[in-house]
Amino acid sequence: MCGLALTGTVAGLPPEPAGAETARTLAPGEEGSLLEECPPGRAGQAARVSDPDAAVPEGGELTPQQAEDYDRRFREALVPLRGQEMQAPRNVPVVVHVISAEDGRGDVPQARVDDQIEVLNTAFSGGYGTDGADTGFRFELSETTRTVNDTWFTRFDEYRDTIRAELHRGGAGTLNVYTAQLGTGLLGYSSFPQDYEAAPDQDGVVLAHDTLPGGGRDGFDLGHTGTHEVGHWLGLFHTFQNGCASPGDYVDDTPYEREAASGCPVGRDSCPRKKGDDPVTNFMNYSDDGCMTHFTEGQARRIVEHWAAFRS
């Protein structure tokens, strides 16, 4: 098994660049136990899973090198914006593309689509916990499209480029959400804002249809897969990006975390030499929906800056 694995596995990290903070110190007896580094995957997607054996599209987990490249492109895009006031948009238009089978599987009722938009607005306004930041982002459903296609529904990942190219609406500031049946354990995935210019018709968020509110996905049917993936769409990495090694997820106020959380292990401290317990209740983790409560102020600033750099 390679190092940058999925939920419940330890992340082995490559050496840090010169001048960076020293990568995590090995605990006694841990020497030689680190997993080998994963071969580079294709960037452009970040996934959320409920099963460590899930088939994750396009790499899913970013390598440290890929995350560093995304951050470099982000910082370069901010240079011409220095001195300008950056704000979240008043409303982000959302187009939800419901893809279903001929027998009715996946035909998400409009009420559940509306509930998903409400979940996004509550989450991004800090409404799920006293420690939640109001990011300033609000979302407004502008259209729901419905496509009945057995092949697209059951084999979305295989045909995703064609599906997204045919169904995509709007520009960089329009959130396109696609719902279908995904692989076992795979909850959803998203593009990053840095990739919009190169592939605008592939931009958006993909969700397993049963992760929308009331969908019946055990542990994951409150709509926070949508919250998580929209966080990626706005530029955030997983809280466990880079494990215990600097710079973590590139956000100062999210504690370091060696590996993704599963369930709701509140109080876990997988990077004891770093400040703070693991951010298991953060929306950018892999915790169960009922465990997730907030984005941080640092994450809120980062998504506003990404919006200004790539989507405004």
Residue 193: domain span: 92-236+295-311
Domains contained in the chain, number: 1
Question: What is the predicted pLDDT for the residue at 31?
Answer: 32
Q: Which tens digits make up the pLDDT trace of 104-137?
A: 999 999 999 999 999 999 999 999 988 899 999 9
Tens of each residue's pLDDT in the chain, 312 residues: 233 222 222 222 233 333 333 233 233 333 333 333 333 333 456 778 876 445 555 546 789 999 999 999 999 999 999 989 999 998 999 999 999 999 999 999 999 999 999 999 999 999 998 889 999 999 999 999 999 999 999 999 999 999 999 999 999 999 999 999 998 889 999 999 999 999 999 999 999 999 999 999 999 999 999 999 999 999 999 999 999 999 999 999 999 999 999 999 999 999 999 999 999 999 999 999 999 999 999 999 999 999 999 999
Question: What is the predicted pLDDT for the residue at 185?
Answer: 87
Q: Is 259 a catalytic residue?
A: no
Return the residue matching tokens 């895009």: 77
Residue 163 lies in a domain: yes
Residue 272 lies in a domain: no
Residue 111 lies in a domain: yes
Instruction: Give dist(CA 139, CA 34) in Å, integer.
Output: 42
pTM for this one? 0.85
Residue 284 lies in a domain: no
Residue 219 lies in a domain: yes
Of residues 31, 36, 158, 229, which has the active-site annotation? 229
Question: What is the predicted pLDDT for the residue at 37?
Answer: 33
Return the residue matching tokens 């200004």: 308
Amino acid at the residue 2 = C
Residue 8 lies in a domain: no
Q: What is the CATH number of the domain that holds 123?
A: 3.40.390.10
Sheet holding 46-49, edge to edge: 46-49, 186-190, 205-208, 175-180, 92-100, 139-148
Question: What is the predicted pLDDT for the residue at 246?
Answer: 96
Residue 267 lies in a domain: no
Q: Which tens digits make up the pLDDT trace of 3-50?
A: 322 222 222 223 333 333 323 323 333 333 333 333 333 345 677 887
β-pairing, 92-100 vs 175-180, is: parallel
Residue 13 lies in a domain: no
Judge contact between 193 and 310, C-beta under 8 A.
yes
Question: What is the predicted pLDDT for the residue at 33?
Answer: 30
Question: What is the predicted pLDDT for the residue at 7?
Answer: 28
Q: DSSP per residue over 291-308, as a string?
A: G--B--HHHHHHHHHHII
Sequence-separated (6 or more) residues with CB below 8 Å from residue 93: 140, 142, 170, 173, 174, 175
